[in-house]
Amino acid sequence: MKISRLLLAVIVIGIFYSFFKIFFGIILKQPIPGSLFTMYMFFIIIGVLLVFSFTEQGAKELMSPIKDLLENPEKMMMRNVVFGIVTIFAGFITYQQVKPSFEAPLELRTIHPAPPSNISAYNKSYNLLTLENPFMKYKKEDPEKFKQLIYEGGEVYFKNCFYCHGDKLDGKGHYAHGFNPLPANFMDVGTIAQLQESYLFWRIATGGPGLPKEAAPWLSSMPVWQNFLSEEEIWKVILFLYDYTGYVPRSWEKH
């Protein structure tokens, strides 16, 4: 059976469509944005129609099934059905376009904003570029003491932080579901594993209200921990976070 030229054109367009969907959407997992996709498909359809109707004969052949449907008195029934479907489809598409949308606005915020070079907390000023965890030195000097400090950090964590950041430090504490934005997941490679201890000190001590504007401080439910914890407690809880997750804080390279 000879495939009609029109069907062939539709099949070719279909192949392009599936290729884009499968290759970018499924294999690369980076689907093409809707508006861009519409534009690509527009050019592909134009191109395919141009190729298929390049010669006079070709153009006639391409159009012949449509012409037949429009003119053949025997296909009256079929014609009415096709017209009906096209009409309803057009109405439906228009409705989708004009109906009001009640989707809440998207709120984009920077999760790890650039830190300031100086912060103030505990009525003092800290230089984040040079600030170091005062307890880190015990890792080599006194491993027993270091272990004890980590345990004490764990106590701080489980009295103050785990309601949101979770038993597993995965950001899924038992009250996490009530917050938007969700609490940070420390097990994720994108959080504390990428940060310096001084950054954590800043985020803990000054909390949500201490964030710069691009990070939407009015949304963050992180408490201002300098109101609750001592400096030592914050440094201990930082030791605990790295110990439990197995990550190593970032540091300035020493030459």
Partner 1 sequence: MKIKNSILVVLAILMVSSTAMAAQGDKENGKKIYEKRCVWCHSKDGTGNGPAAPFLNPPPRDFTSGMYKFKTTQFDEILPNDENIFRMIADGMPDSSMPGWKDILKEKEMWDLVAFIKTFAGLEGKPKKQIDFSKQVKSSKESIERGKKLFIDRCSECHGEEGRGDGGKKLKDDWEARTWPRNLSKPWSFRVNNDPKEIFARITAGIAGTQMPSFADPASKKKLSDEERWDVANYAASLADASKTIKEGSTVVKAKRVSGSLPEKADDPKWQEAEPTNFYLIPQIIAKERFFTPSNNSIRARAFYNDKEIAILLEWDDRTKSIPGDEKAAEVSLDGQVFEDGAAMQFPVTIPEEMEKPYFGMGDAAKPVNMWYWKSGTKDAPQAVKLLNATGFDKKEERNAAKAGLKAEGVYNKGTWRVVMKRPITTSEKDKDIQFVEGKFIPLAFAVWDGTNSEKGSKHTMTTWYWLFLKPEAGVYVYAMPVIVALLVLGGCILTARNSQKKG
- List contacts with partner 1 (CB under 8 A): 67, 70-71, 79, 83, 86-88, 90-92, 94-95, 98-100, 102, 104-105, 107-108, 154-155, 157-159, 162-164, 166-168, 170, 172-175, 177-180, 208-209, 213, 216-219, 221, 223, 227-228, 244
Closest approach of Cβ 252 to partner 1, in Å? Answer: 31
Report the residue number, 97 or 130, with the smaller CB distance to partner 1.
97
Closest approach of Cβ 152 to partner 1, in Å? Answer: 10
Residues 113 and 212: beta-carbon distance below 8 Å: yes
The DSSP string of 151-204 is HHHHHHHHHHTHHHH-TTSSS--TTGGG-SSPPP-TTSTTTGGGSBHHHHHHHH
Report the residue number, 12 or 193, with the smaller CB distance to partner 1.
193
Number of H helices, E strands in the chain: 9, 2
Report the residue number, 154 or 249, with the smaller CB distance to partner 1.
154
Total count of residues recorded for the chain: 255
Report the residue number, 32 or 223, with the smaller CB distance to partner 1.
223
Closest approach of Cβ 174 to partner 1, in Å? Answer: 4
Closest approach of Cβ 69 to partner 1, in Å? Answer: 8
Report the residue number, 173 or 249, with the smaller CB distance to partner 1.
173
Residues 171 and 183: beta-carbon distance below 8 Å: yes
Written as six digits, the tokens of 130 are 């040079």
Residue 125: CB atoms within 10 A of its CB come to 9
- Cα(107)–Cα(214) distance, integer angstroms: 11
Closest approach of Cβ 243 to partner 1, in Å? Answer: 10
